[in-house]
């Protein structure tokens, strides 16, 4: 639909019909208006229906808001109207660009702040991981030390058991010799007393060895519990 048709049946408040196609300067205004009209129609969505209550019926039939107001500007200001209209659009676009740039800058600053927080959290987690790794190494060293100590205690207990066995053997020999006191001249009472003392010492050694084995068992149980705790912490 040509421009002059858009206002053909317009309301009384519209400007007089001064179509650029029929004006004395039409040879300049018509191509410019056509180019501007076609360019602006690409940028604006047609809003023909439903018709807005404050727009004339002629406009709402088949035109667009851009074309309608552009023709009104052309009728009032001529080519200068195109400049005013284009300047208004440019100002709107610049304003929109500034607004969007401000929003984008704010978003970028927010993202930067979030990235800083995330980086700090990552560094904290890394430090915590190093601390946990060091703590796990310390616990592992403690577990190994406990196991070594338990092994040493078990070795001492074995040695005391062997000493107790040797002392019991000596006591048996001395008692055997004392039982032959009628055949051989020996201090029977002294040897029997020594045998009793040796057996008591052997009994004490065996009891101490038993205590050492119990302590070693407790240490090994504690080491096993520490290993389980360390594995759970690492997971």
How many C-alpha atoms does 201 have within 13 Å on its Cβ side? Answer: 17
> What's the pLDDT at 58?
44
Number of other residues whose CB lies within 10 A of the CB of residue 103? 10
Give the separation between CA 176 and CA 178, rounded to whole angstroms.
Answer: 5
Of residues 231 and 164, more confidence is placed in: 164
- Does 144 score more than 90 pLDDT? no
- Does 47 score more than 80 pLDDT? no
* pLDDT 10s digits, 55-65: 444 444 444 55
> What's the pLDDT at 230?
65
Average pLDDT, the chain: 70
Mean pLDDT of 97-117: 90
**Banded model confidence at residue 172, pLDDT cuts 50, 70, 90:** confident
> What's the pLDDT at 37?
52
Mean pLDDT of 60-85: 65
């Amino acid at each position: 639909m040509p421009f002059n048709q858009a206002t053909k049946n317009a309301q009384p408040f519209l400007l007089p019909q001064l179509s650029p196609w029929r004006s004395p300067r039409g040879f300049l205004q018509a191509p410019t208006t056509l180019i501007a009209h076609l360019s602006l129609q690409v940028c604006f969505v047609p809003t023909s229906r439903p018709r807005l209550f404050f727009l004339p019926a002629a406009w709402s039939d088949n035109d667009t808001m851009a074309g309608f107001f552009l023709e009104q500007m052309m009728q009032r200001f001529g080519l200068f109207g195109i400049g005013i209209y284009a300047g208004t659009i440019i100002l709107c676009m610049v304003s929109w660009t500034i607004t969007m740039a401000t929003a984008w800058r704010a978003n970028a600053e927010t993202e930067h702040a979030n990235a800083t927080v995330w980086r700090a959290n990552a560094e904290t987690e890394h430090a915590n991981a190093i601390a946990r790794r060091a703590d796990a190494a310390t616990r592992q060293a403690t577990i190994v030390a406990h196991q070594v100590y338990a092994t040493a205690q078990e070795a001492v207990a074995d040695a005391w058991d062997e000493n107790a066995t040797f002392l019991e053997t000596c006591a048996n020999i001395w008692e055997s010799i004392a039982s032959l006191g009628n055949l051989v001249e020996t201090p029977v009472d002294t040897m029997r007393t020594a045998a009793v003392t040796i057996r008591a010492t052997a009994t004490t050694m065996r009891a101490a060895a038993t205590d050492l084995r119990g302590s070693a068992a407790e240490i090994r149980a504690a080491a096993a519990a520490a290993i389980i705790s360390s594995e759970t912490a690492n997971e």
